[in-house]
Chains A and B, each alone.
Chain A
Amino acid sequence: SQQGEEDPQALSIQEGENATMNCSYKTSINNLQWYRQNSGRGLVHLILIRSNEREKHSGRLRVTLDTSKKSSSLLITASRAADTASYFCATDKDTGRRALTFGSGTRLQVQP
């Protein structure tokens, strides 16, 4: 399956700073989801944004979606050491089997 691209591939920040991750994709979508994965563990669903939405908030998370540019961003505000993880975007095509196509991921390291 096609993969989206995420940037940066790796990001290291200090606790309290904001972290921004970007995701680009190639096909039309039904929605876009962001997931978090701690090292060697399963995925945790963070937030889902529908194709007709432009911005969504959940706690310290803010997600934007620009369907004209086929891109999304995830902002984590006031980061904590516990936010250290890999973050993946995943798109859901509006046709087909509805399997998710994952981006390449951003490895976030938050220094205490």
Chain B
Amino acid sequence: GAVVSQHPSRVICKSGTSVKIECRSLDFQATTMFWYRQFPKQSLMLMATSNEGSKATYEQGVEKDKFLINHASLTLSTLTVTSAHPEDSSFYICSAREHISSYNEQFFGPGTRLTVL
């Protein structure tokens, strides 16, 4: 089956630093990748849609200058949390949609837990 990896799985950083999270589709090409954020005991909230070779589309309330998304290839999207603050601490999950997918089945990465001190 389709596999999506995320790296790192866990990161702890100091306030003010930037953190990059990678999302890779390992055995398929993903035209579109999605980035979600999940706070404890809550559901997933879509942050942005990442399309290969074009600018990401951000959801309302998500600062594009703070959450930089780069989708440089059909298998890799990165999310950079710039000048991280404690309120950015969360579980970040990416998903990838296969290039040829009639039913929009998405495959999720294992998530990255970010803790900002």
B106 near A42: Cβ-Cβ < 8 Å: no
Given A40-B91, A42-B93, A98-B32, A33 contacting B43 (CB threshold 8 A): no
In this complex, how many residues of chain B approach chain A with their Cβ under 8 Å: the count is 27
Partner of A30, one of B36, B59, B104, B107: B104
Given A42-B109, A105-B43, A97 contacting B103 (CB threshold 8 A): no
Given A1-B45, A88-B43, A104-B43, A97 contacting B57 (CB threshold 8 A): yes
In the assembled complex, A18 has its CB within 8 A of some CB on chain B: no
Residues of A within 8 A of B95 (CB): 43, 100
Closest chain A CB from B2 CB (angstroms): 9
A100 near B106: Cβ-Cβ < 8 Å: yes
Classify chain A: how many residues form its interface, as a range.
Answer: 20 to 34
B110 near A48: Cβ-Cβ < 8 Å: no
Question: Closest residue to A88 on the B side, CB-wise?
Answer: B43
Residues of A within 8 A of B43 (CB): 3, 88, 102-105
Q: Which residues of A are in contact with B by a Cβ distance under 8 Å?
A: 1, 3, 30-31, 33, 35, 40-45, 48, 50, 88, 92, 97-105, 107
